Chains A and B, each alone.
Chain A
Amino acid sequence: EVHLVESGGGLVQPGGSLRLSCAGSGFSFSSHWMTWVRQAAGKGLEWVANIKQDGSQIYYMDSVKGRFTIYRDNAKNSVYLQMDSLRAEDTALYYCARDQVMNILTGYYDYWGQGTLVTVSS
């Protein structure tokens, strides 16, 4: 069975850093694009970044470019989101999700983790 488990969230001051992790199991992790999506409390879904199977292609939403870095370690079946220069508006529940089809980017996500909460506040 496919599982995605996020960790690393917490309370951080504005300007601080945090690294989120997402561990996958039950599927061929190295064969799928992976993505991070966030959701502020009471708000909608917001795509953050995605990364190709081998890490050679990466895309970010405009507001996190230069501050967030997505990367993966296929040997550990994990994808990460390094978040620097955090702002109050980055406060959200962060989900990782799996692109549905192996080896290509389809842009739709069939498995999601339960999310990890990031709070940016002084």
Chain B
Amino acid sequence: SYDLTQPPSVSVSPGQTASITCSGETLGEKYASWYQQKPGQSPVLVIFEDTKRPSGIPERFSGSNSGNTATLTISGTQAMDEADYYCQVWDSGIVVFGGGTKLTVL
């Protein structure tokens, strides 16, 4: 089975840049997506096809994917960005989520 590995937690100061990584074998050959989930809420798609933002997602969210690592970058992080973030890929119909990263803004 295919595995995606994320750091359990990332901390960032308000206004700074947060980077959350997602690692998997030849991940750069697949499309990565990212979801934000706040406590008690359903996940929200923030990045798809490695770099694209759905409408309504702030420009401070960006993504990249190369080699074995996909990265979600949040520039000028705000308190409202504190949440769990999950990377996700699919291959031949099978979907895989990373274990999730808790982003703390402090």
Contact = CB atoms under 8 A, between A and B. Distances in A.
Interface of A: 35, 37, 44-47, 50, 57, 59, 61-62, 95, 97, 100, 105-110, 112-115
B90 A45 contact: no
Given A106-B48, A114-B42, A45 B96 contact: no
Interface residues on chain B, size class: 20 to 34
Contacts of B44: 112
Interface stretch (B14-22, B65-73, B74-82, B97-105): B97-105
Interface string B23-44: 0000000010101010000111
Contacts of A50: 93, 95
Nearest to B40: A114
Interface of B: 1, 31, 33, 35, 37, 42-45, 48-49, 54, 84, 86, 88-90, 93-100
Contacts of B95: 35, 37, 47, 50, 59, 107
A62 B95 CA distance: 11
A108 B88 contact: yes
Given A44-B100, A45-B100, A100-B48, A107 B54 contact: no
Contacts of B98: 44
A44 B42 contact: no
Contacts of A100: 45, 48, 54
A45 B43 contact: yes
Contacts of A57: 93
B70 to A, nearest CB: 13
Nearest to B30: A107
